Amino acid sequence: MISYLLRRLLLVVPTFIGITLLIFALTRFVPGGPVERMLLSLQMQGASETGGTSSVTDGNNALSEEQIEELNAFYGLDKPVFEAYYDWLTKLVVLDLGESTRYYEPVWDMIAERLPVSLFYGGMTFLLSYLISIPLGYLKALKHGSILDSTSSIAIFVGFALPGYVIGVFLISLFSYQLEWFPMGGFISDDFDDFDDFGAFEQIKDIMWHAILPLFCYLIGDFALLTMTMKNNLMENLASDYVRTAIAKGLPFRKAVRKHALRNSLIPVASHFGNSLMFFMTGSFLIEVIFNIDGIGLLGYEAIMERDYPVVMGLFAINAMMLMIGNILSDVCVAVVDPRVKFGA
């Protein structure tokens, strides 16, 4: 296994370079960079001062060609793509993600500021999805065709068909706006610091009060997929010859399920385990936007909309690394569950 992991880790380097180089090149060819945004703001300022009679060329004339070239040099936009990418990659080696072109703050500091929020939602989503999906899929397989199986399947299919952000809009409209049971958004209340007088319990309760609706949106898609995967694979294994042979030899049905069928049914679920690692960092752009959660998802959405390319590249670099590490962890989890897998055989 050690030699296999070393080979996979060596493949991470060219894969990471290929992914980040592609994204870096796309950011150069997409219009609306920091210089264009500055020219647009000057255009809008000139339009407001002249009563809205200015044109696009008026904003461009506010800066000379030399000034525009200096701005391009300041943001590193005057270099060819490969040279600029090499500069970015050499900084990344020493864990320097650059500086935001919108807030002029280090990208690492901006990510670290929002990381606890994303870790909370990512960790809760990860734990709840597996703690609920595996037992529910197990029960649905054993009670296939029952009322429990039918009613839960309807809820699962409806949840799987609807995107999380659509469910988020519905939940906010009903439970936050109409019924006023939950807040409209945010991670904590405005007076969260005042809860220090009441102890940590009030702070935890406030966080969970804000987190119920977003967590439901995070869970619904991944939860539905894992539950149906667990159920379908367990039913397939229950119909296999080795399980029926074990029961025919006198092994109790429940014990045959737990000892033989269950472990083999966990193989597809284990292959999904590593890919869930990205939830610890990224979350969902649109869900965080809808609920106004100041996490990494909202940061990425704002960076894309504002063409804040250093932040975009920093988040993509982290996501790419997490995805590749997650794929390796998935292989390890499959090897732990499935004894037939032999690395290097």
Question: Which residue carries 């901006």 as its tokens?
Answer: 110
Spatial distance between the Cα atoms of 165 and 173, rounded to a whole number of angstroms: 12
Q: In which band, very low, low, confident or very high, does the pLDDT at 345 lie, cut at 50, 70 and 90?
A: low
Q: What is the pLDDT of residues 11-31, one digit of tens each?
A: 888 999 998 999 888 888 877
Tell me the residue type at 80: P
Angle separating helix axes 309-337 and 107-142, nearest 10 degrees: 30
**Across all residues in the chain, what is the average pLDDT?**
80
Between 33 and 151, residue with greater pLDDT:
151
Closest by CA position to 159, among listed 225, 254, 99, 208: 225
Of 159, 165, 122, nearest in space to 287 by CA:
165
CB 300 within 8 A of CB 117: no
In this prediction, residue 61 has a pLDDT band, given cuts at 50, 70 and 90, of low
Question: What pLDDT was estimated at residue 54?
Answer: 46
Instruction: Give per-residue pLDDT as tens, 294-323.
Output: 888 888 888 888 888 889 899 888 888 888
pLDDT band at 8 (very low <50, low <70, confident <90, very high): confident
Q: What is the C-alpha to C-alpha distance for residues 152 and 137, in angstroms, rounded to an integer?
A: 10
The pTM of the whole model exceeds 0.75 = yes
Nearest-5° Cα angle at 216, 162 to 326: 85
Contact 231, 150 (CB under 8 A): no
